[in-house]
Amino acid sequence: MSYFYIFLTIVLTVYGQIVIKWQVLKAGSLPGLLPEKINFIVHLLFNPWIVSALFAALLASVFWMAAMTKLQLSHAYPFMGLTFVLVLLGSGVFFQEPVTTLKIVGVLLIVLGLVVASQG
């Protein structure tokens, strides 16, 4: 069950990143003046999608705590690196961000590190 909790932590984390990027893109660029910046951020904080992303982060933390009751941090934490893979793929699919060879190599190195780090 602990690995299922890690899986939920990863999925909720990736969801939050994708949703926040989506809503920030819709909102536009951060204004230059401080009062406008504050207004911009406050509006985002009341955006239902942003609220769902923040709630996902809270739930991810709860599932992470559940996983930590059974697993060593040094064993479980490398799995969080899978968020790099999923966010890279999500950014390509949802936002047409370039998935370059260098990014793929970087993510493969992260995955290799996960395999090595999770072996003990």
The whole model's pTM is what? Answer: 0.88
**How many CB atoms lie under 10 A from the CB of residue 16?**
21
In this prediction, residue 120 carries a pLDDT of 60
- What is the C-alpha separation between 31 and 100, in angstroms, rounded? 30
Question: Along the 120 residues of the chain, how does pLDDT read in single tens digits?
Answer: 899 999 999 999 999 999 999 999 999 999 999 999 999 999 999 999 999 999 999 999 999 999 999 999 988 888 898 899 999 999 999 999 999 999 999 999 988 887 887 776
Task: Show Cβ contacts of residue 76 under 8 Å, excluding neighbours closer than 6 positions.
Answer: 2, 6, 67, 68
Q: Name the H helices within 46-81.
A: 48-68, 73-76
In this prediction, residue 79 carries a pLDDT of 87
